Structures are given as C-alpha cells and as structure tokens.
Amino acid sequence: MRALGWIVATALVGQSMGGAAAQTRPDQQAFFGLYKELVETNTAVDVGDCTKAAAQIAARLKAAGYADADIVQFSTPDHPKDGGLVAILKGSDAKAKPMLLLGHIDVVAANRADWVRDPFKLTEEGGYYYGRGTVDDKAMAAIWADAMIRFKQSGYKPKRTIKLALTCGEETTYAFNGAEWLAKNRKDLIAAEFALNEGGGGRYNAKGERELLAIQVGEKAAQNFTFTTTNPGGHSSQPVPDNAIYELADAIKRVQGYEFPVKFTDTTRAFFGMVAKAPTTPKPMADAITTLLANPDDAAANRIVSLDKALHSTLRTTCVATLLKAGHAENALPQSATANINCRIFPGESVDGTLAKLKELAGPKVTVTANSPIRPIGIPPKLDPKITGPMTTLAAKYFPGVPLLPTMSTGATDGIFLEAIGIPVYGAPGVFVDSDFSGVHGLNERIRVESLYAGRDYLYDLVKAYAG
C-alpha cells in the first residue's frame, strides 16, 4: 500500500464507532481463522513465503467447494516463494463481463527487536489487532478470500463472474511482482471489466470517530532516476572548483527549486471541489482552491494550496532526492557522486517526459538515467457512477453521515499494472485506519477490531452489488 491522497488537513464531522461486533457470528469466527493464519505467515521479501500463504488460502477455497480448475496457483522457477493465486466463481450471464478482486499478500519487513509485540503473531489488545500486515494488505486480501468462500458455501450464483487475484511483490520495487507477471503473462486469467483494490478506505479522527471515506480513482506512477557526476579527483589538500560532490549538489538544488505544473484529472477536480466546499476548510484555502480550479496557472493560489503537503502532491508530479553516495576516501577529492531521485508522476505524464525535465535541471555535467524497473504510466479510471454509486449507497447504510471523497493516490499500487492492460482499478472504501495511519509500513501496525469486521461486511455486500 502507498501513501493515500485523501489524507488532508481538513477536519470533517466525525461519527462515533459502531457496527458489527467481533467474532459473534459463525462466519466471523471462520474469517478470523483465515485472517490470523495469513497474518502469522511471514511474507516479507527474501525471508517470507507468499507461495505458502497462497497455498493456505487455496486449501480453504477448495474446502469450501471450489474445484481444482477454479483455482490457479502460480510462481516462477527463479522466484519459488513469491507465488500467488487466482480463483474464479463463474457467473450465470455470459454477456456480463467479469469483475476482479485484487489484493497483495506480501508485507514490509518487520524486525522483532523493534516491535513491542511479535510482528508475525496476531495479538488482540485494547480493541486492536496488532501484527505486520493487519492492515496492509492482509485485511483486504483476507476479506476478498473470505467473501469468495462465503459465496461458494452459501450457494450464491452471481450474474457476473467474480475473480480473485492475490499476489506478491507489491511492497518491494525490485522484487518479482505477481500482478505485473499476471498482466504480462496471463492477461486472459485476470481479464475483467474493472477491479477493486486497496488504496481507498476510511480514516478515524483523533477521538476515534469515523471522519471520512475515500474511493481511490487513479494513482501516480513511481519512478526512480539516478544522477551521476564523475571527476578525475585528486588530493584533498589541493581542492579545485571542479568537484563531483558540488556539481551533484547544485543539480539536486535545482530539482528542489523546481515545481512541476499544476494538473487536474476528473477525480482530483472533484476531490478539490469537495474540499473547497467543506464547512471547516479555512476561507483562504477554500478561495485558493476555487481559484486554482478555474486557473491552474494562478501562482498565488498555487502557493496557498501547496502549503498542505498532501494537496501539493495531489496537484502535480513531484521529484525528491532520497539517497546519496559520494567519494571514496576522506582525504581525496571525489571521483564520483550519485543521487537517487524518486518521482511520483502525475497520470497522463510519461517517464520520458520527466527524464527530459530532470536532464534539463541537472545540466550538462550530470548524467541522468531512469532506473529499472520502469513502471507503466498512470491511467486514471473514469468516475463511473456504475462503480461509485454502489459504494456511496452502501456507505450511507454502514457509515451514515461520513463524507465519501474520490481521490487520486499520490503513491502507487499494483493497480497500475492492470490499468496498463485496460482494466480500470478502483480503491474500495470500507476499512478505516487511525489518523496516524495505524503503523502501516512502520512499527506496531494495527487495526481496530470493529473496523475489520464492519469493513468486511461492507465489502461483502459491495461485491454482491456489482456481481448481481
């Protein structure tokens, strides 16, 4: 999971927690077993085993009645522990295009010594479940798999075929990525009219009240670039102006000082419009947003809106230095210096275009290259009422009074690989996290127990609403 574009500085009216009690129904108890097993199976890159986790879920699907032909487990010989699965529940209407449920089962690494509790043991404490992946993304992966099991066990016959894809590699740039592999090698297996994925969700405020819901409709593309300077070097006792570190530093400062132009998609235009109208948005910010929507080139409005870092990133491509390496000895002039520039490219813009701008900023003494892997560009899905309508209707039932915003993620998910082959991907709302992001990618990751079960009920009904 990547940083959510809906984390803004706007305070909205909260709603007290409520909803489904935990583990009081037999179906909830069965779900908890699946969820616990998934969280407690280490799937961090290099040390974990996604293939094992996928096999555990496949066994549960088969026990529920799925035939071997309905489940495809996949991995590659060079990445035997990075496997995943695709499961299919066939629909009754051949004319209705399938829908796809996408989730990733790999997690960010977690060091036991740094955590209060064992990150790979599900611990319930103080109304929370603690453990690596309890939110990102094993909550959604478990909910999707559980829904497929419940559909089969109940004899539910959808009109539209429902597909489930659980993949590995989302959390690590250079790892084998199952979603990318499926898009390139088994496009037929995951072909769908649309997909539901992570990236949406909900947020509690500091009081533990439900503050807002988000539908992710589009995302940026993450791309890394390398700046390199070289020099013959020499003895540090005789410095000269021609210095690899200084040349690199000057180039980085030019990147720091450059702002990519303001852009809007249909999603971000709708999002900013809602933020401008929110009753608690300060008037100077609301006025600046309104002005910027009318004229993206208005510099004064841009300065005001960009004071909020989340809004700033939602408006444009961003590039920032994240890694530096230079020199070879403390008493020698540097012979080389390199920097990693991490860019989040706005939908519709390209890697080549961003590379050209970075070369221009870096100047002739700095070599700029785009790092592999080069991800697809962001292709924003449409704000389709057929997709947003059921989300909105069910949100009013499960989370009455909580605002629902369409958002563009300033990060990136595996959805970008599906969008590249023509499958629009939407980040579904439903599962709420705390205002500090619940430790996702950090220490002591956690999810409120009530959030998991209420989100599970919401998403179950949402899938049925689309499937018919």
Structural domains of the chain in order of their starting residue, each with its CATH number:
26-220+378-467 (3.40.630.10), 221-260+317-375 (3.30.70.360), 264-312 (no CATH)
Whether residue 54 contacts residue 85, with contact meaning beta carbons closer than 8 Å, is answered with: yes
Q: Report CA 256 to chain centroid distance, whole Å.
A: 25
Contact 425, 418 (CB under 8 A): yes
The DSSP letter of residue 318 is E
Q: How far apart are CA 289 and CA 188, in angstroms?
A: 43
pLDDT score, position 15: 53
Task: Give CA–CA dist 176/371, Å, rounded.
Answer: 16
| Triad 301, 298, 302: Cα angle to 5° | 35
How far apart, in whole angstroms, are the C-alpha atoms of residue 245 and residue 249? Answer: 6
CA-closest candidate to residue 35, choices 142, 129, 150, 144: 142
Q: How do the pLDDT tens digits run along the chain, 468 residues long? A: 444 333 344 434 445 444 456 778 899 999 999 999 999 999 999 999 999 999 999 999 999 999 999 999 999 999 999 999 999 999 999 999 999 999 999 999 999 999 999 999 999 999 999 999 999 999 999 999 999 999 999 999 999 999 999 999 999 988 899 999 999 999 999 999 999 999 999 999 999 999 999 999 999 999 999 999 999 999 999 999 999 999 999 999 999 999 999 999 999 999 999 999 988 899 999 999 999 999 999 999 999 999 999 999 999 999 999 999 999 999 999 999 999 999 999 999 999 999 999 999 999 999 999 999 898 988 989 999 999 999 999 999 999 999 999 999 998 899 999 999 999 999 999 999 999 989 999 999 999 999 999 999 999 999 999 999
Between strands 194-197 and 425-427, the pairing is: parallel
| Identity at 183, one-letter amino acid code | A
Q: How far is CA 42 from the centre of its chain?
A: 20
- On the question of a cis peptide bond just before residue 373, with omega within 30 degrees of 0, the verdict is yes
Q: Which two tokens stand for residue 231?
A: 């020099």
DSSP annotation of 107 reads B
- Find residue 330's DSSP bridge partners: none
Q: Give the number of other Cβ atoms within 10 Å of residue 46's Cβ.
A: 9
Count other Cβ atoms within 10 Å, centred on residue 431: 25
